[in-house]
Amino acid sequence: MVEQVREDAGADARDTPVWWARRRGRVLAALAVLTAALLAFHRAVPNFPGRLGSSLEAFLPWLGLVVVVLLALALLRRSVLALVALLLPVAAWTYLFGGLFLPGAEADSYDLVVVQHNVSDENTDPAGTARALAAADPDLIALQELVPPALTVYEKTLAPDYPYHAVRGTVGLWSKHPLTGTRLLDIRPRGIAAGWNRGLRTVVDTPHGEMAAYVAHLPSVRFRASGLASASRDESAGLLGRAVAAERTDAVVLLGDLNGTVDDRGLAPLTSRLNVAERGFALSFPTAFPLARIDQVMARSATVAHIRTLPATGSDHLPVAAGITGLGTER
């Protein structure tokens, strides 16, 4: 009888840690499933109150860090259940973002190389910024926050390599190829005073045929106690999306500081009509510790094959360079 009691007590002592391990495993497994659901079904997250869905989508790739933390905890607790459950968010994250890590095509296979950069209206070295962008040897350079007297410096510095340029308001495009039909693009949301000009449309006569180029700078967003303030950005994106939809030139490229990521539903009027980069993360803002790519290159009847960041300039944004393919046969 005494031996039986000892055996039962020993069994209880052995079983108790296992019971607690299994319980902790269930919590980690539940968190893994929740993370997978947020990745796979982020569009189902309601945008109200406070544009919660857009806030999540602005930093969606960073949910990968949650997976890493959960993995470390699962290994620490030796929870098989949690490790198996983690396969779900790993699969969801890989499906959404894994392809961006694949290598892009060779540089000489691109039809065009374009650069997009918000140069900042507080940039103290516009000449150095212009030289740094030109050093990437792109066909097109799109700039935002162009203000006097820095605009004159950009025009003078870029002129030798980029004889064609167009500026409307605070946005501009420099090109190695002729530009025609340039006009101001009205993407001003309600409540913003006249004189707010942040969009242009022009036609680039590329070696592969005509291509409509749009340069835009959408309104800024702010994170407040009440949530994400993006109503003006979203309205401006809608106006820009309608302009792109009405564009009669088949090939279109959009370059701009859109103040949103390609996963953000606020940019759906654009991402539903234009292709986004197939390769490359290119986190562009802020320069000190880039958290998101809000500087975008999108295209229609063409492919943004790869996007990457360029070295920092005097701006709070990093420049991004993209290779465009599929424009057509060379003339």
- 9-13, 22-26, 189-193 — which one is most confidently predicted on average? 189-193
Contacts of residue 179, Cβ cutoff 8 Å, sequence gap at least 6: 164, 165, 166, 173, 202, 203, 204, 205, 213
Region of poorest pLDDT, from 95-104, 112-121, 158-167, 230-239: 95-104
- pLDDT over 80 (residue 222): yes
- pLDDT over 90 (residue 23): no
- pLDDT over 60 (residue 186): yes
Share of the chain above pLDDT 70, in %: 92
- pLDDT over 90 (residue 88): yes
pTM for the structure as a whole: 0.91
pLDDT at 108: 77
Report, as an integer, the average pLDDT of 122-146: 98
Q: Are 174 and 138 in contact (CB under 8 A)?
A: no
pLDDT band at 155 (very low <50, low <70, confident <90, very high): very high
pLDDT at 5: 47
Report, as an integer, the average pLDDT of 113-118: 98
Report, as an integer, the average pLDDT of 14-30: 68
Backbone angles phi, psi at 184, to 5 degrees: -70, 140
CA 35 to chain centre: 21
The string of pLDDT tens digits covering residues 261-309 is 999 999 999 999 999 999 999 999 999 999 999 999 999 999 999 999 9
Instruction: Please state, as a whole number, how many other Cβ atoms lie within 10 Å of the Cβ of residue 153.
Output: 17
> What does the alpha-carbon distance between residue 166 and residue 202 come to, in Å, rounded to a whole number?
8
Report, as an integer, the average pLDDT of 123-131: 98
pLDDT at 331: 44
- pLDDT over 60 (residue 6): no
- pLDDT over 90 (residue 48): no
CA 254 to chain centre: 13
> What does the alpha-carbon distance between residue 122 and residue 134 come to, in Å, rounded to a whole number?
20
Region of poorest pLDDT, from 17-21, 84-88, 241-245, 320-324: 17-21
Helices and strands in the chain: count of H runs, count of E runs? 9, 13
**What is the rounded end-to-end Cα distance, in angstroms, of the chain?**
97
Average model confidence (pLDDT) across the chain: 92
